[in-house]
Structure 1
Amino acid sequence: MGIGESIKGAVKQKVGDVTDDDALQAEGDAQQTKGDEQTRESRERTEAKAHEEKADALEKEQRSLEN
């Protein structure tokens, strides 16, 4: 999702550079930025899920030690 958008945006931007098409350059830049943000969001969600799983495991361990 994000990586594909970044790649498509980079290609559009390069084509815009070669053809001297400012609109295509801007569109490519925006698409690349969107893809970068999607990739960042996906990475952060994955990290958050890992932290939640670790916290759940530690909570279970604490409960077992209390009993």
Structure 2
Amino acid sequence: MNKDQVKGTAEKVKGKANEIIGQVTGNTKQEVKGDIQQAAGQARKSLGDAKEAIKKS
């Protein structure tokens, strides 16, 4: 596991937390921020996955 995979996963978790807090409090702005964080985290994790795949081949 490389740093991009770890940081991407952490960003996804933070995004999910923001999304849930936004839903519970009715704060649409925070909910959208959470969605964006999750997407960014997934992109970074995917980059890390690709790096690992290249390293192993």
TM-score (norm 2): 0.85
CA–CA distance in structure 2, aligned partners of residues 7 and 31 of structure 1: 9
Deviating runs (4+, > 6 A) in structure 1?
none
Q: Using CA pairs below 8 Å that are at least 6 residues apart, which structure has the higher relative contact order?
A: 2
- Structure 2 runs not aligned, ≥5 long: 1-6
Task: Name structure 1 gaps, 5 residues minimum.
Answer: 52-67
Which protein is bigger by CA-based radius of gyration? 1
1:6 CA drift (Å): 0.2
Aligned-residue CA RMSD (Å) = 0.6
TM-score by length of 1: 0.73
Q: Using the TM superposition, give the Cα deviation of residue 23 of structure 1 relative to its aligned residue in structure 2, in angstroms.
A: 0.4
